Chain A
Amino acid sequence: MSAEETAKVHEEPPRPARGAISAYFHNLIDLPWNVRDSIIRHGAPTSDRAKSQAVNQNFFLHILSARIHITSLKFWTTMGLGVISLMLFLLLVITGVLLMVYYKPSINQAYDSIKDIVFVVPTGRFMRNIHRWAAHGMVACVILHMARVFYTSAYKRGREFNWVMGMVLFVITLGLSFTGYLLPWDQLAYWAITIGANIAQSPRELTDALGVTAIFDVGGFQKELLLGAHYVGQEALIRFYVLHVMVLPLAAALIIGAHFWRIRKDGGLARPEEPVPSHPPALGPSGKDGGTKTWGLMAVVKGKTGNVGDEMANTIPAYPGALFALAAVAMAATAAMLMLGYYFDAPLTEIANPAVPENPAKAPWYFLGLQEMVSYSAFMGGVGIPAIVVLGLALIPYLDREEEEPGIWFSGPRGRKVALASAVFTTVFTIGLLAFTVKFGWLRNWYPDIDQIMITFFNPGTLIVAVFALWSIVSVKLTNSTRMGAIALFTCFFVAFIILTYFALVHRGPNWDFYWLPSQWPTH
């Protein structure tokens, strides 16, 4: 750089022709446009390149990749369940924060503050209803989403850990629901915490049977940690409140972010390798120059073929197509919650009464299957079997590592057959076992002095788990495929969950006795 040029750089910038005051006023006039341009730092996205930029340069949009495969937007690829779950979570955050404005986490005021929210606070009842329906909807969508991911083998090829994160989110969702319905401090709340805390203490059932509780009391430790006392009271309410409004939502938000981010990093949603084109393929880079361009393999790539050239063929820019799809799903979910919240009130039972539980004291639907299990053995039903199921689900991607095309429901006709057979088997077996238990009772009815440890390890719940495990091993053997075994096992648990939930919802009455219909319950 010559001396002359250097001097030029240090010269003052040319004065604006209008003068600074005039420029100042012009800036004022241009303010709205300049602010907009500073937020969105590119022009209207008209070209494909600009559309990519629109996604990549936006913090919120860059969770999507710039181009989305058209299969990803097909209804049967995801049924939108993940996005609906996310939308319900956002709705829960918004309505939850609003409810926090009036809710008082004190055992003397909690119930009254909920009554205030319902009867006095403007829109309070509506917000609480939305919060409640969105919570139930989220549990349902998360479970269905898990089933969808499982049945389309979307847990393979680098997505193993994302499946595990999904399991963590599933547990957090249940935790959020549980800690949530404790807060009103009504009868449901009080007895749910009581039962929950005692389930946390139920490892004592095992340690007592082994006679080691005095030196190794996991159960007692967990209960004290949850309740902050030996009974359910103010300490417990505050603890559950902190979990519900801070710890669990924060954990959920963090993991949801990572969960979505990984979808993008794994190359978008799982899909079959060669989708049947539903419209003439769009002009990709290989088409633009008349197909004369050739591609070389310049990098180490995953998969068996280079598969060059076709990569872009069936993709569309995420902006705006995918965004419209997301927005449509989110709006539909929100609209559904608003409707439910408008027409159906969230229940509130009587104020907590530590002297008398409701009869029957039923948990919300998603815990009813567990409640049925717990009615066989506290430890196995409340801790053992849930731990086995969650751990088993989390390990699926590591135990079934068969190479196969993802994105195909049930992995094809064979898997559909296995799933159907497993569903029929589970229905017959579970209903048969329930009928047997209702008619003939269980070990204690036959041998009144039987050791508790026998019942802990051999009850209808553990029997179901053992039979399902056996069924899936047989399936692996017969089909010579771990994927088919996984389908068998997952189907067994999924169908059993539905049957147990239905059974406990409809056929369990006062004192957890069997009734054909709730209308037959005895009246006092």
Chain B
Amino acid sequence: MPGRLEPEPLPRRDFLGLSAIWSAILAFVAAALGAVRLPMPAVFPESNSRVKLGHAERFPRGSATHLSDLRIWVYHDAAGLYALSSVCTHLGCVAGRSKDGTFKCPCHGSVFDVAGKVVAGPAPKRLNPLELSLAPDGQIVVDTRRFTGAESRLKV
């Protein structure tokens, strides 16, 4: 034990003071973290991503149909139906489809070919093909949040 004249390594008062300050800081940090939790939504306000598009007759073979509200293009080729999201994978603008079938994004100039593959510009990924399915009533259903493979087709 240190004698009275030798200073303690950490005097008792300093120790208590430091503990008080650090517990206060810890409490503030914990409170701040708790406060940041609030703006992080637990439930997302969104409507159903599955939308009925109508019957197959709406999309005749060889056609490309623009559904602008859903920001998708629905194609019908020899193998069947498929849907392509026209939302640019770069920063979310809607790429416009030219007459030759390629897509160009107005915001930062990404270019996608007929199949949705990136040809030029900053887009990191191809345009997303969306999952199509058949509802029990025979209507075609698109899921705007479920991406599928580029080769996937819905046979009709």
Bind each other: yes
Interface residues on A, range: 35 or more
Interface pair B68/A355, CB less than 8 Å apart: yes
Contact A194–B92 (Cβ < 8 Å): yes
* Residue from the list B90, B107, B118 in contact with A357, Cβ < 8 A: B107
* Cα–Cα, bound, A508→B103 (Å): 18
**Any A CB within 8 A of the CB of B79:** no
> In the complex, A209→B124 CA distance in Å?
9
How far, in whole Å, are A375 and B90 apart by their CA atoms in the complex?
Answer: 9
Complex Cα–Cα for A507 and B126 (A): 27
Chain B residues with CB under 8 Å of A234's CB are 45
Mark interface residues in A430-459 (1 if CB within 8 Å of B CB, else 0): 000000000001001100100010011001
A195 near B93: Cβ-Cβ < 8 Å:
yes
B interface residues (Cβ-Cβ under 8 A, vs A): 39-41, 44-46, 68-69, 71, 90-94, 96, 104-109, 111, 118-122, 124-125, 145
B68 contact set on A, CB distance < 8 A: 355-356
Q: Is the interface of A mostly helix, strand, loop or mixed?
A: helix
The interface residues of chain A lying within 8 Å CB-to-CB of B46 are: 229-231
CB contacts (< 8 Å) of A239 on chain B: these are 39
Q: Please, how many angstroms separate the alpha-carbon atoms of A510 and B104 in the complex? A: 10
Q: Are A511 and B104 in contact (CB under 8 A)?
A: yes
For this complex, 27 residue pairs linking A to B, each with C-beta atoms less than 8 Å apart, are A194-B93, A195-B92, A195-B93, A224-B40, A229-B44, A229-B46, A230-B44, A230-B46, A354-B94, A355-B71, A357-B94, A357-B106, A358-B106, A360-B106, A378-B90, A378-B91, A378-B122, A381-B122, A444-B119, A448-B119, A455-B122, A511-B105, A511-B109, A512-B105, A512-B106, A512-B107, A512-B109
Q: Does A186 contact B (CB under 8 A)?
A: no
Instruction: Find chain A residues with CB under 8 A from B125 CB.
Output: 208, 452
Complex Cα–Cα for A191 and B91 (A): 10
Could you tell me the distance in whole angstroms from the C-beta of A507 to the nearest C-beta in chain B? 12
B124 — which chain A residues lie within 8 A by C-beta?
205, 208-209, 378, 452, 455-456
Instruction: Please determine whether B94 and A355 come into contact, CB atoms closer than 8 angstroms.
Output: yes
Contact (Cβ within 8 A) B45 A374: no
A452 and B96 alpha carbons, distance in the complex (Å): 23
A238 CB, nearest partner CB in chain B, Å: 10
Q: Is A405 an interface residue (CB 8 A)?
A: no
Whether the pair A194, B39 counts as a contact (CB closer than 8 A) is: no
Instruction: Tell me the complex Cα distance, A305–B91, Å.
Output: 58
Give per-residue flags for A184-197: 1 if the beta carbon is below 8 A from chain B beta carbons, else 0. 00000001001101
Report the separation of the CA atoms of residues A377 and B121 in the bound assembly, to the nearest whole angstrom.
8
Contacts of A323 in B (CB 8 A): none
**Does A360 contact B107, Cβ atoms closer than 8 Å?**
yes
Which of A375, A455, A513 has most B Cβ within 10 Å?
Answer: A375
> Quick one: which of A480-524 are within 8 Å of B by CB?
510-513
Which residue from B39, B41, B107, B120 sits with its C-beta under 8 Å from A195? B107
Cα distance A375–B94 in the bound complex, in angstroms: 15
